[in-house]
Amino acid sequence: MSATIPSNVSQLFKISLLAVLSFFIVGCDDGPNQQSLLANAKSAMPQDAHIASIYQRSCQACHAVDESTAPLVGDKKAWQPRVEKGMDKLLDSVINGYAGMPPFGMCMDCSAQEFEALIQFMAGENS
């Protein structure tokens, strides 16, 4: 013996379930959305003119576009696990290349201090 649920009750249940799920999905938002992160990354620029020059020619092409797998400038959530590894590990990844990033991050004449300043800027640790 099977019970049949009236269609109006079934419809009401589906709508209620969608409303509850939507509330939880929206309620779980714990940071800026991808569009605002991307807008911020595209407009961000180091305050130091020398570091800004390096950033524009070597880093911006990947760290300020959505199509790249590189973490966006200022996306602290994406940078956090990288920063937690420590600056030495980050510098090693930049110098030797990592995943899609070429060795020296396309800046063959950059010093470790310049790379560190660039990393700190992109990770949102300073401007």
**pLDDT by residue (tens digit) across 36-71?**
999 999 999 999 999 999 999 999 999 999 899 999
DSSP for 79-126, please give it.
HHHHHHT-HHHHHHHHHH-BTTBPGGGG-TT--HHHHHHHHHHHTTS-
Would you list the domain boundaries of the chain? 34-122
For 57, list phi and psi in degrees, rounded to 5.
Answer: -90, -20
34-122 fold: Cytochrome Bc1 Complex; Chain D, domain 2 (1.10.760)
Start-to-end CA span in the chain (Å): 69
**pLDDT by residue (tens digit) across 91-111?**
999 999 999 999 999 999 999
- Band of pLDDT at residue 30, cut at 50, 70 and 90: low
- Reading phi first (left if > 0) and then psi (alpha if -120 to 50, else beta), residue 3 is in beta
* Average pLDDT of every residue of the chain: 85
pLDDT at 12 over 90: no
